[in-house]
Amino acid sequence: MSPVVGISAYAEQARWGPAWDLPATLLPQYYVDSVAASGGVPVLLPPVAGIAGALDRLDGLLLAGGGDIDPGRYGSPTSEHTAGVRADRDTAEVDLLAGALARGLPVLGVCRGMQLLNVCRGGTLNQHLPDLVGHAGHRQRVGVFDTHPVTVAEHSRTAQVLGRTMLDVPTYHHQSVADLGRNVSATAWAEDGTVEALEYTDVFNVLGVQWHPEMGTDPSLFVWLTERAAER
């Protein structure tokens, strides 16, 4: 049996076809294709009340990218640059993560998903990275995933999964991890010091990356997730 991997999805107004402009549950197809190509069965998890109840039928969890997390969840006022906050999605994903940890499911956080892994452990975020690092290299063009180099800590689980400690990654974000949460360890960094990956030190099967592996050619993170899910 192939492992079933739940992927947190968006609830947004969307347009398709010649006539439709409606509220929709959606997710970029690249996440779905990446999970499927690694041997998993992808299932979308909409941000609705009670969605954590689906975890009993899942083998793994992927927290996808998306809009910014409500700064109130890490005790900060909202910056003028913070955008795309969806309270229903924040709540659904916090519940999904808590339920996945309680069940021992492997978890991969991507971009926003990595930031959520930190916030749920009491960590904080920088709400507008260009103000901190002085450049827009992490989101260079609107709607385009440009790349930059990342260095991964040797002997970390992240390095073991990736099979290397130097790589160029597809990136698109304007926020970043600030203070690390409880039992959260940074495991990769951009040249400007931005945290690019993290692990839970007390839970073996939790990884997060700030970049977007679904937009690249390296399947190793998705293979890791589905292999850990298959072990269940």
Q: Look at the block and give the residue holding tokens 């970390």.
A: 156
Alpha helix stretches (DSSP H) within the chain: 29-37, 87-103, 112-119, 129-133, 157-162, 220-230
Instruction: Kindly name the residue from 80, 174, 212, 231 that is annotated as catalytic.
Output: 212
Catalytic site includes residue 155 = no
C-beta separation of 164 from 110 below 8 A: no
Which residue from 45, 182, 173, 65 is spatially nearest to 112, judged by alpha carbons? 65
CA distance 99 to 56: 9
173 is catalytic: no
Question: Residue 217: helix, strand or coil by DSSP?
Answer: coil
Which residue type occupies 145?
F
Helix (H, G, I), strand (E, B) or coil at 222: helix
- Is 138 catalytic? The answer is no
Strand 4-8 to 60-63 pairing: parallel
Dihedral pair phi/psi, residue 71, rounded to 5°: -60, -20
Other C-beta atoms within 10 Å of 6: how many?
A: 27
Please state the separation of Cα 66 from the chain's center in Å: 8
Please state, in angstroms and rounded to a whole number, the distance separating the CA atoms of residues 175 and 71. Answer: 11
Q: Which of 93, 196, 199, 214 is the catalytic position?
A: 214
**Pick the catalytic residue: 93, 111, 138, 196?**
111
Q: Would you name the residues annotated as active-site residues?
A: 111, 212, 214
